[in-house]
Amino acid sequence: MTDPTPPSMSGEEMHALVERLYPLCRSITGDGLRRTLEIVGEHLPLTVTEVPTGTEVLDWNVPKEWNIRDAYVKDAAGRRVIDFRESNLHVVGYSVPVSGTYTLEELRPHLHTLPDQPDLVPYRTSYYAETWGFCLSRRVLDGLGEGPYEVLIDSTLADGSLTIAEHVVPGELADEVVVSCHVCHPSLANDNLAGVAVAVALARGLRRPRYTYRFLFMPGTIGAITWLALNRERVRLVAGGLTLACAGDPGALTYKRSRRGDAVIDRAVTYVLRDRPHEVLDFSPYGYDERQFCSPGFDLPFGSLTRTPYAQYPEYHTSGDNPGFVTPAAMADTLDALTQVVEVLEGNRTYLNLSPYGEPQLGRRGLYESLGGRSDTKQAQLAMLWVLNLSDGEHSLLDIARRSELPFAAVKGAALALLDAGLVKEKA
């Protein structure tokens, strides 16, 4: 069981981790990704795997590794009008090396802006097509003259490797609960870093769990595909999983169900969210890496937990998604919800009523007297009756809590009291 101890990181500590990681230029491969994992590794012991370029992973191949040292567009006076050092969002991810002089007209096909958000810089990538480009605010673009401009992208795109990191908290069972975060985006605080920080805090708070908990920190899409390709035998142990992203914005929590729709992880999360503002979405094969884990060949019980879903807040994939956009309170709320989900998963059992013919006499077993004086006496008595009635070997404690609309802790406490009194036994 997990210890009833508070989470090991406060909202402020999680926010500080986001701020520290924010300046790094991450991508699906490269040194920025490795440095990110090194910093995560200061908080959790990690097992790091490097998968060489060209490795076949399911229907994909591991791409070339991309690294960048500097990039700019300079005007005739030598002023950097677009500067990678100011923000790594200014360069299209995976841009090939460029060095030359261009007019504004020649540059325009390589410049990306957000006309409807003229003060923000967009995030753009080109992982699988060798091209190059810059991102800038529309307001800056509108202020540029015809040039000429000196253009430099000091990058490399060469054989290397893709990096995946894992942290495992061993449990009593080999069955695993998996939490997956993508760590491939550059300076975007909510769309990946808040999820990383919350995952770190959740992992640090686990103590002697029943399930084994596996935390995956890897690039989106190709990282999940690679992990699945390398762990085809292990996936049979996955009892439930969550992709975690967009975990720090002010919006309400949103859960997207797994492909199965009614897996234990689906029921646990939706039960925990019932008493707080939230939205529940049905599965769709679009989104984060739950779509890889839920692909039909694997069909793992994997849901997705966010606050405001991707692309549904104006700051999404822009320079507006900065540390000021995410809050310690929102990350603490996400962590609290996840902690409650873990408590439900850890405490969930299925029992058999050993006196199923009529209601057993609870008074002569001291069960009613043991509740005397408690502020929740009525709730505790009701929980006992629900547990007795539904402990038929088919309904778990989570099922009972959902149907009775009682707190899981009350249902679990009732089951343990009945177990001690010899009225129920755990189903083998």
DSSP state of 131: -
| Contact call for residues 299 and 260 (beta carbons, < 8 A) | yes
User: 51: which 2 tokens?
Assistant: 């998968």
| Contact call for residues 87 and 251 (beta carbons, < 8 A) | no
CA distance 66 to 397: 49
User: 375: which 2 tokens?
Assistant: 């502020």
| Contact call for residues 198 and 336 (beta carbons, < 8 A) | no
Separation in Å, CA 226 to CA 54, 167, 175, 200, 320: 12, 17, 21, 22, 31
Plot region of 283 (φ>0 → left; ψ -120 to 50 → alpha; else → beta): beta
Query: 317 a known binding residue?
Result: yes
Name residue 43's amino acid.
Answer: H
Cα dihedral value 100, 105, 107, 111, nearest 10: 170
Task: Please classify residue 428 by burial: count the beta carbons closer than 10 Å to its beta carbon, then call 0-12 exposed, 13-18 middle and 19+ buried.
Answer: exposed
Give the H or E element holding residue 1: none
Which residues contact residue 138 at a Cβ distance below 8 angstroms, ignoring those fewer than 6 apart? 113, 114, 115, 117, 118, 119
Plot region of 60 (φ>0 → left; ψ -120 to 50 → alpha; else → beta): beta
Give the β-pairing of 134-135 and 111-112.
parallel
The DSSP secondary structure of 21-41, one letter per residue, reads HTTS---SSSHHHHHHHHHHT
Query: 110 a known binding residue?
Result: no
Which residues contact residue 94 at a Cβ distance below 8 angstroms, ignoring those fewer than 6 apart? 27, 28, 66, 125, 126, 127, 157
User: 149: which 2 tokens?
Assistant: 């401009």
Treating both helix axes as pointing N-terminal to C-terminal, what angle do 11-21 and 31-40 enclose, rounded to 10 degrees? 160
Query: 112 a known binding residue?
Result: no
**3-class DSSP assignment, residue 275:** coil
| Contact call for residues 246 and 194 (beta carbons, < 8 A) | yes
Which positions make up the binding site? 185, 191, 317
Which positions make up the binding site for Zn(2+)? 185, 191, 317
